[in-house]
Amino acid sequence: MIATLPLQLSPSASPVLAGVLLGAASLFTLFAAVVLFRVFRGPTMQDRVIAVNVIGSNIVVILALVAAGTWRWCTRC
């Protein structure tokens, strides 16, 4: 079972859009887990370096998608 975070969906975006963004973030997380295999079992050092770079880039994309899917206006502004 996959652990989920208690995320609050954006009230300004439609629930469908928020679900699509969070689903895409989940797919990027799965892809990062698959690439992690290449970090440990890469045939060459170059494969391992590229895999670490891909994971770092995926983390940035995941953070952006989660932020876009859960973003809401500041209530104290």
Q: Is the pLDDT of residue 70 over 70?
A: yes
pLDDT score at 14: 75
Q: What one-character-per-residue DSSP string does 7-51 give? A: PPPPSSS-HHHHHHHHHHHHHHHHHHHHHHHHHHH-SSHHHHHHH
pTM of the model: 0.74
Q: Which of 13-22, 24-33, 54-63 has the lowest mean pLDDT?
A: 13-22
What is the reported pLDDT for 77? Answer: 47
**Neighbouring C-beta atoms of residue 70, cutoff 10 Å:** 17
Q: What is the pLDDT of residue 1?
A: 45
Query: What is the DSSP code (8-state) at residue 75?
Result: S
Residue 52: both structure tokens together: 């670490």
